[in-house]
Structure 1
Amino acid sequence: MSKTFKKATFAGGCFWCMVKPFDQWDGIESVISGYTGGHTENPSYEDVKRGDTGHYEAVEITYDPEKMPYDEILEVYWRQIDPTDDGGQFHDRGDSYRTAIFYHDENQQLAAEKSKQALADSGKFSKPIVTKVLPASTFYPAETYHQDYYKKNKKHYEEDRAKSGRDEFIGKVWEE
C-alpha cells in the first residue's frame, strides 16, 4: 500500500526558524527551505535577500494527511509567527520575510481562510491579521547550506533565534 503525501507551503520569516517546528511531528516526511511567490526563475539566497525578486523565504512541507492533517499543520504554523506584522518577522525585515500560506488545492485554501478568520475572531491580537492566503506557485529549494540549518549549525541557529525575539513573542502570545 503506497502512502499519499501532500504538500503544504508557508512563509513565516526566516526559513531557518520555520523548519524545526514542523520537522518534529509524526506524519511530516520532509521540510525544505526555499523561495516562492516571486517572478524570478531559480533565485539565489542573495537574489531574494536583495528584495527585487518578489519571493518569500518559505518552507515546503511534505506530509501524510492521515497522520498529520492540514488543520493541525495550520495550528503549528500560526504559533510560529506574528500574523499582524506585514513588514517581515521579528528582526528579519523586508518583503521576503513576510508571512503567507500558499495553498495547493481548494481544500487547503478553504482551511487556511477559515483558520485565519478564527484567529482574527479569537481576540488574541489587537491588530488585524495580515498573513496572506495565496495560491502556491513554483517552489525553489534554497541552497544546500540552508537545509536543516538548525541541525547542521545548531549554535548559530540558537543564537540567531534568541536574538530575533521570536521565542519571546511566541511565549507571550501562546502561553496558556
Structure 2
Amino acid sequence: MNKQEDTAIFAGGCFWCMVKPFDSLPGVEKVVSGYTGGHVANPTYEQVCAGTTGHTEAVKITFNPELMPYEKLLQYYWQVTDPTDAAGQFQDRGDNYRPVIFYNSPKQKAAAEKSKAELANSGKFDKPIVTKIEPAAPFYDAEDYHQDFYKKDPLRYSLEESGGRDNFIKEHWSK
C-alpha cells in the first residue's frame, strides 16, 4: 500500500497553541508552526508580530488522509478556535492571529465551506461564523524555537492555553 500524504494549513491565534491539538491525532505525521498569507518572502517572527508583512501565524499539518480525513481535521479545527472572532483568538489580538482555513485544492475548499456552513447551522454559537476560507499561499516555517513549543516550554505553554482557549473549549464543546 502506498502511503498517502496531504497537507492542511490552519490559522487560529498563536501557533504555539495550535500545534498540540493536532500533533497526536492518528494519521498526523507532522505539525509545523509558521507564517502564511503575506507579501514578504521568508518573514521573521518579529516582522510578523509588527503587522507589516500581512502574514498570519498558522500551522501546516502533514497527514495521511486514509487515517485522518481532511473533514475530520476540520472538526478538530473548529473545536480549538473561536470561529466568531475575526479580530484574533482569545488573548491574541490582531490580523496575524485571525482564524483562517487555507485550502490547497478545490476538494479542500468544498469541504471547508461545507463544514463552516454546518457549524453555522448547528446553533452552537449565537454569533456569526466569521472564519475565512482562503487559498493557500506560500508557507514559511517559523524559527526553530517556535517548533513544538508545548514540549519545549510546558509551563509557558500552559499559561498561553489558560488565556481563554481552554475555557472556550469547555463552554462550547464539552456538552
- Output the TM-score relative to the length of structure 1: 0.98
> Where in structure 2 are there 5+ consecutive unaligned residues?
none
Q: Specify the alignment match of 2:78 in structure 1.
A: 78
The one-letter code matched in structure 2 to 1:63 is F
**2:171 is aligned with 1:160:** no
- Aligned counterparts of 1:156 and 1:22: Cα–Cα separation in 2: 19
SS in 2 for 1:9: strand
Post-superposition offset of 1:175:
1.4
Q: Specify the alignment match of 1:26 in structure 2.
A: 26
The CA RMSD over aligned residues, in Å, is 0.7
**2:168 is aligned with 1:169:** yes
The one-letter code matched in structure 2 to 1:118 is E
Paired-residue identity, %: 59
SS in 1 for 2:80: coil
Post-superposition offset of 1:2:
3.3
> Where in structure 1 are there 5+ consecutive unaligned residues?
none
The one-letter code matched in structure 1 to 2:5 is F
Query: 1:129-175, CA deviations, whole angstroms, 9 ceiling, x for partnerless residues?
Result: 1100000010000000000000011111112211x111001100111
Q: Specify the alignment match of 2:117 in structure 1.
A: 117
SS in 2 for 1:43: coil
CA contact (8 A) 2:28 2:61 kept: yes
- Aligned counterparts of 1:99 and 1:38: Cα–Cα separation in 2: 14
SS in 2 for 1:60: strand
CA contact (8 A) 2:17 2:160 kept: no
Q: Specify the alignment match of 1:145 in structure 2.
A: 145
Q: Specify the alignment match of 2:14 in structure 1.
A: 14
Post-superposition offset of 1:26:
1.0
CA contact (8 A) 2:33 2:146 kept: yes
- Aligned counterparts of 1:26 and 1:124: Cα–Cα separation in 2: 26
SS in 1 for 2:57: strand
- Output the TM-score relative to the length of structure 2: 0.98
The one-letter code matched in structure 1 to 2:174 is E
- Aligned counterparts of 1:128 and 1:62: Cα–Cα separation in 2: 30
- Aligned counterparts of 1:149 and 1:2: Cα–Cα separation in 2: 32
TM superposition outliers: structure 1 runs of 4+ over 2 Å? none
- Aligned counterparts of 1:75 and 1:40: Cα–Cα separation in 2: 31
